[in-house]
Copies of this chain bind each other. A is one copy, B any other.
Amino acid sequence: MKFEDTVSHLLSRVATAHKAHLEKRLAAVGLHGGQLSVLFELWRRDGRRQVDLAREIGLATPTVNKILGGMIEVGLVDRTRLEDDARATRIYLTDEGHAMRAKVEEVWLEVEEELLSEFTESERLILFSLLTKVRNYYFGVDPDQVDD
């Protein structure tokens, strides 16, 4: 058989290339890829616990914990103990964490446009819809997709 003819193989290859590419583009605003995935979630709503963030993002809790450690160091977020549960913490964006959003939006639109520059409008929509289907295979259907 030809492994090259499978979607899985193609997806793996594209995945690593895309991640490496993102990392390079994010360096311009002083971010790492993992930090961004956490920021995406915090920009939706901050003040949540690490375990909740991890579940939403789809990462293991130690991964999120490590990324947050780096983000605290560079001053993007704060970690405060929960008042009524001494086990848990709440993660809040700092002013810098909020301010980062504008910078990232700029880069993000560029990255998206460059990636899809050779795609027609309908190809973009189809790719988005098929990738959503793959995402649903791994994460289940996103409830936020319906309303909101």
Contacts and interface: CB of A to CB of B under 8 A. Distances in A.
Interface of A: 1, 3-19, 21-22, 33, 37, 40, 43, 58-59, 105, 108-109, 111-112, 115-119, 123-124, 126-128, 130-135, 137-139, 144
Given A17-B139, A18-B138, A133 B119 contact: yes
A135 B17 contact: yes
A12 B17 contact: no
A112 B7 contact: yes
Given A15-B19, A133-B118, A109 B7 contact: no
A8 B11 CA distance: 13
Most chain B CB within 10 A, of A14, A16, A17, A135, is at A14
